[in-house]
Amino acid sequence: VLVDVNSRRILRQPPEGLPIAFDQTVDKELDFGVERLPVGQGRPILAGYSLCDCNRHINNTRYADLVCDAIDPAAMAESRVKRIVLVYHNEVPFGQEFTLAAAQGEGGYWYVQGTQEAKRCLEAAVWLETDRD
């Protein structure tokens, strides 16, 4: 992904003269679909210093840990993560709070939703499997 650091937006087309081939054809695509499930009340998460990066918002790599912590500990204790899809909607700046809530689906599927001020900032789909699967 190419990002304009000034506007903080993903560039859909490369700037003119940039010697990177953006139009390569690929034979396989990953499914980044997230099946939304109704979630209950979540728990607040503070975007504290240890979660944030030099851009002063939660580092994207930390969300996977937070998502797994939002899932029922009993389910996590008996399983391992088979697959995870993270969809970022909005950054959570340093010092602000957001809420994470999870809902269990079928076949080891969990949906986790992060909200800030009633707007989604993060969604995740997590598939768990046990040693017996």
- pLDDT band of 133, cuts 50, 70, 90: low
pLDDT at 132: 64
- Of 98, 32, 30, the closest CA to residue 67 belongs to 98
Residue 119 has pLDDT above 80, yes or no: yes
The string of pLDDT tens digits covering residues 71-118 is 999 999 989 999 999 999 999 999 999 999 999 999 999 999 999 998
Q: What is the pTM of this model?
A: 0.79
pLDDT at 102: 97
Q: Would you say 70 and 42 are in contact if contact means Cβ atoms under 8 Å apart? A: yes
